[in-house]
Amino acid sequence: GAVVSQHPSRVICKSGTSVKIECRSLDFQATTMFWYRQFPKKSLMLMATSNEGSKATYEQGVEKDKFLINHASLTLSTLTVTSAHPEDSSFYICSARDLNTWETQYFGPGTRLLVL
Partner 1 sequence: KQEVTQIPAALSVPEGENLVLNCSFTDSAIYNLQWFRQDPGKGLTSLLLIQSSQREQTSGRLNASLDKSSGRSTLYIAASQPGDSATYLCATFSSGSARQLTFGSGTQLTVLP
Mark 29-68 with x for binding to partner 1 (rule: CB under 8 A) and - for no binding.
-----x------xxxxxx--x-------------------
Residue 43: CB minimum distance to partner 1, A: 4
Tell me the three-class secondary structure of the chain, residue by residue: CCCEEEECCEEEECCCCCEEEEEEECCCCEEEEEEEEECCCCCEEEEEEEECCCCCEECCCCCCCCEEEEEEECCEEEEEECCCCHHHCEEEEEEEEECCCCCCEEECCCEEEEEC
List beta partners, residue 77: 23
Query: Looking at beta carbons only, is 3 or 116 nearer to partner 1?
Result: 3
Residue 96: CB minimum distance to partner 1, A: 12
Task: Check binding of 93 to partner 1 (CB under 8 A).
Answer: yes
Residue 93: CB minimum distance to partner 1, A: 6
Q: Which residues bind partner 1 (CB under 8 A)?
A: 6, 34, 41-46, 49, 91, 93, 95, 102-105, 107-110, 112
